[in-house]
Amino acid sequence: MWFILYYILKYIKKNVKLTLIFKGIIIIVILKFVSEWLNLNTVGVFLEYIIDWAPLALIILFQPEIRQVLENLGRSQLLGRHKVLTVDEREKVVYEIMQAVEYMKRNRIGALIVIERDYALSQYIENANKLYADLSSELLISIFFPNNPLHDGAVIIQGDRITCAGSVLPTSMNTSLSKRLGTRHRAALGIVETSDAISICVSEETGRVSIALDGELNYNLTLDDARMILIEALQPKKETFFEADNLENEEETSEEVSDEERKEN
């Protein structure tokens, strides 16, 4: 039960609509307690009717969001990515993407690149143009080159291969986003709000590079910052834990050495 509650709260945090629903439910519950405390009988009876019929109303009104949660459960892969990249493959993926991003930033070519991680993006690949090609900076640049029929949609990368181009992604409904950001940036944030993917966005107007990750949009990044974010985000989880253990061991070793030096002094 705690695991189910944790998953629900984690998903609510990433979804703007569900966050608003959750806040509304909390406000109604608080009002119910306040009405009982102040003996507001009329308000209490009214809130009781709302609470009694709330589950049915939520199912009817927010059916798309509930369906989205169930779809995410179905898309979740218990064994991780389709392919766990080696260190060399991961470096090559980051190198090819950043080479293309650097060119498109310099020439102000709009682009939206999505990298799949643990959640499968099958529903967005299904209606897109399938490529299944080896990842290369030249291919990415040619896809997003102006007047190319595929340049308006998103490219989805699985492992070290470009799976599809021209994919249509959901746009974010986050009201805190700047109105200056266009559809491409909202789509970049929208896909990471409903999955654990990474999306790289290059602005067509300004050439600025942004990366959306874990439900947040990192806007106007330098090429070095974008490269470091990609390298860190593409690391396997086991490797991250292994590195953390190594850091702890190194710290313990350094502490032991310093203790021995103190004793000698």
What is the rounded distance in angstroms from the CA atom of residue 58 to the CA atom of residue 88? 48
Same domain, 56 and 93: no
Which pLDDT band holds residue 12 (cuts at 50, 70, 90)? Answer: low
The stretch 3-26 carries a mean pLDDT of 73
Same domain, 24 and 125: no
What is the structure's pLDDT at 157?
94
Same domain, 102 and 28: no
What is the structure's pLDDT at 77?
47
What is the C-alpha end-to-end distance of the chain, expressed in Å?
56
The stretch 96-106 carries a mean pLDDT of 95
What is the structure's pLDDT at 78?
42
What is the structure's pLDDT at 74?
57
In the sheet with 129-134, reading across from the earlier edge strand, the strands are 129-134, 161-167, 154-158, 111-115, 198-202, 209-213, 216-221
With 60 as the cut, is the pLDDT of residue 69 above it?
A: yes
Task: Tell me the CB-side half-sphere exposure of residue 106, using CA atoms within 13 A.
Answer: 8
With 60 as the cut, is the pLDDT of residue 254 above it?
A: no
Q: Per the domain annotation, does 265 fall within a domain?
A: no
Angstrom distances, CA of residue 166 to CA of 26, 121, 143, 217, 251 = 41, 14, 9, 21, 48
The stretch 136-140 carries a mean pLDDT of 94
Q: Which residue, 159, 139, 134, is CA-closest to 151?
A: 139
Q: Which domain holds residue 154?
A: 87-238
Lowest mean pLDDT among 4-8, 26-30, 128-132, 224-228: 4-8
Asked whether 216 and 129 are in contact (CB, 8 A), the reply is no
What is the structure's pLDDT at 81?
44
Q: Per the domain annotation, does 264 fall within a domain?
A: no
Which pLDDT band holds residue 215 (cuts at 50, 70, 90)? Answer: confident
Torsion of CA 237, 239, 243, 248, to 10 degrees: 60
Same domain, 106 and 54: no
% of the chain surpassing 90 pLDDT: 34
Same domain, 173 and 142: yes
Lowest mean pLDDT among 201-205, 231-235, 253-257: 253-257
Give the domain-ending residue among 17, 47, 75: 75
The stretch 67-79 carries a mean pLDDT of 56
Same domain, 160 and 60: no
With 80 as the cut, is the pLDDT of residue 252 above it?
A: no
The stretch 139-160 carries a mean pLDDT of 90
User: Is the whole-model pTM more than 0.75?
Assistant: no
With 70 as the cut, is the pLDDT of residue 48 above it?
A: yes
Same domain, 68 and 130: no
Which pLDDT band holds residue 260 (cuts at 50, 70, 90)? Answer: low
Q: Per the domain annotation, does 195 fall within a domain?
A: yes
What is the rounded distance in angstroms from the CA atom of residue 186 to the CA atom of residue 202? 12
Q: Per the domain annotation, does 248 fall within a domain?
A: no
Question: What values do phi and psi take at 129, rounded to 5?
Answer: -90, 115
With 50 as the cut, is the pLDDT of residue 253 above it?
A: yes
- Considering 40-44, 82-86, 184-188, the range whose residues carry the highest mean pLDDT is 184-188
CATH number assigned to the domain comprising residue 143 = 3.40.1700.10
Number of compact structural domains in the chain? 2
Give the domain-ending residue among 34, 49, 75: 75
Same domain, 135 and 230: yes
Residues 6+ apart with CB under 8 A from 255: none
Q: Per the domain annotation, does 68 fall within a domain?
A: yes
Same domain, 71 and 91: no
What is the structure's pLDDT at 230?
93
Q: Per the domain annotation, does 11 fall within a domain?
A: yes
